[in-house]
Amino acid sequence: MRPIDVLVPELFANEGGIQVYSRTLIRALLQLRPHTPLRVFINNDCPRHLPTSGWEGVEWHPAGGSTWQLAASLLRAARRRRPQLLLSTHANYAPLQWLHHRLSGSPSWCSAHGIEVWTLQPGPRRWALGRLQLLLPVSRFTASALRRKFSVRCPPLAVLPNCFDAQRFHPGPPSPALLQRYGLRPGQPVVFSLTRLSTGDRAKHLNRLIRAMVELRSEIPDVVLLIGGEGDDRPHLKTLVHDLGLDGCVLLPGQISPSELADHYRMARVFALPSEKEGFGIVFLEALGCGCAVLAGNRDGSRDPLADGRFGLLVDPDQSLAVPLRQLLTSEGEPLWFVPEALSQAVGQQFAFPAFCERLSSVLADVVPGTMPWDPLTSSC
């Protein structure tokens, strides 16, 4: 049987949204096509990064950071055995995909996340991306951006949203060890945010979130804001916290270990990321899965994980954030937002791994012969 080839920037060397999405896609293909050989070509991972178990059925091709080695490996494999489909999880590889299609005749699909396609300028990547057989935007916002970018030459689109691990991100009691680490008492109101703290990402409006604490603490004196993440903007944010007299009530602990991430969501009463440049935002799904009330911006792909306001509060990020934060901290809003088990279950039905498998199965069925129909009663997803 002819294989399916998957082309990804990175899987295991580091942790991030595209890495999570890529791993999810591979696991879904293994679930939906258990008898189809799966070859995975990874740009940045080295052999030492690859797992020794848990991914049976995958043939790994790590390139160790060499794009030339990646291309050579992919094209050699296609020459040996032409794939049914080449599926990439990043638009940077569109020129290589176009060349692969020209040489092999195999259809080529590409995921589209956010800014990497919103800002595409005329050139080889944009030209090649517009000539692929299918694009898979993760949100309606990114799909709309692609239609504007390519106009009448836009390839077919199929929205394939991110998902979250419902077995890992679920409601539960706060971790006593974390409360002790941050000097918090049980039940103390905590607002949690998590993102890359980069000067290039100031459209996430963390400065507005910090400034909102001045007004918010006049009404809820013991509220604490915890912003996780690393980046070159962290010193600026720490200076802002000090200048506003918020030392001790706005905490920037740095990078948060993946093993402790779910406990950070469970420790918080509200998760807030008032961004206006999110392609989707897996963090929203993780927070919702843990039963956390969520605040997000209303101008970007954040609308999709919040289901246009069904699962959380969408706000104009240019407006004061103190009022909407107070509303969530005092349980003002849709009743579902403040019932952790019900919220987690509702979000899981729409965005957990089985929902991702069902969407991908539908997309594959028309193009790749032999795709197993999705059956939630017999599936192990």
Evaluate the CA torsion angle 91, 92, 94, 100 in order and state its sign. negative
One domain, residues 356 and 323: no
27-52 burial, b at 16+ Cβ within 10 Å, e below that, comes to: bbbbbbbeebbbbbbbbbbeeebbee
- Whether 337 and 356 map to the same domain: the answer is no
94 in the same domain as 39:
yes
- Domain check: are 215 and 307 in the same one? yes
Alpha helices in 233-332 (DSSP H): 234-243, 258-267, 282-289, 322-329
| Residue 305 DSSP symbol | T
The position carrying tokens 């002790």 is: 180
Percent of the chain with pLDDT over 90: 89
Domain extent, residue 10, equals 4-163+352-365
- For residues 283-299, average pLDDT: 97
Give the 3-state secondary structure of residue 143. Answer: helix
CA-wise closest residue to 312 among 341, 285, 352: 285
- Whether residues 122 and 202 share a domain: the answer is no
The pLDDT > 70 percentage for the chain reads 96
Q: Within this chain, do residues 131 and 256 fall inside the same structural domain, yes or no?
A: no
pLDDT given for residue 215 in this prediction: 95
Q: At which residue do the structure tokens 């692969």 appear?
A: 100
Length of the chain: 381
- Judge contact between 44 and 65, C-beta under 8 A: yes
What token pair was written down for 316?
Answer: 């104009």
> Which CATH number is 290's domain given?
3.40.50.2000
Cβ partners under 8 Å of residue 106, min gap 6: 5, 78, 82, 83, 84, 85, 86, 100
The CA distance from 95 to 68, in Å, is: 13
Check whether residue 235 and residue 294 sit in a common domain: yes
Both 361 and 237 in one domain: the answer is: no
| Residue 379 belongs to a domain | no
8 Å CB contact between 86 and 97: yes
Q: Model pTM?
A: 0.91
E strand or H helix that includes residue 32: helix 17-32
User: What pLDDT shows up at residue 375?
Assistant: 44
Q: Read off the pLDDT band of 376 (50, 70, 90).
A: very low
| Between 201 and 304, the higher pLDDT residue | 304
pLDDT at 283: 96
197-248 confidence digits (pLDDT tens): 998 888 899 999 999 999 999 999 999 999 999 999 999 999 999 999 999 9
Lowest mean pLDDT among 97-111, 192-206, 259-273: 192-206
In a domain, 65, yes or no: yes
How many domains does the chain divide into?
2
Q: Cα 362 to the chain's mean position, in Å?
A: 21
Residues 189 and 320 placed together within one structural domain of the fold = yes
In a domain, 374, yes or no: no
Residue 201 has what pLDDT? 84
Task: Give a yes or no: residue 375 inside a domain.
Answer: no
Per-residue model confidence as pLDDT tens digits over 312-352: 999 999 899 999 999 999 999 999 999 999 999 999 999 99
Residue 368: per-residue pLDDT: 60
User: Is the pLDDT confidence value at 372 over 80?
Assistant: no
State whether 44 and 155 are in the same domain.
yes
d(CA 307, CA 285): 11
Rounded CA separation 314/173 (Å): 26
Give the Cβ contact number of residue 177 at 10 Å: 10
Does residue 373 form part of some domain? no
pLDDT tens-digit map of 131-177: 999 999 999 999 999 999 998 889 999 999 999 999 999 999 999 99
Please identify which residue in the block is written with the tokens 């962290």. 234
Enumerate the H helices of 48-113 as residue ranges.
67-80, 94-104
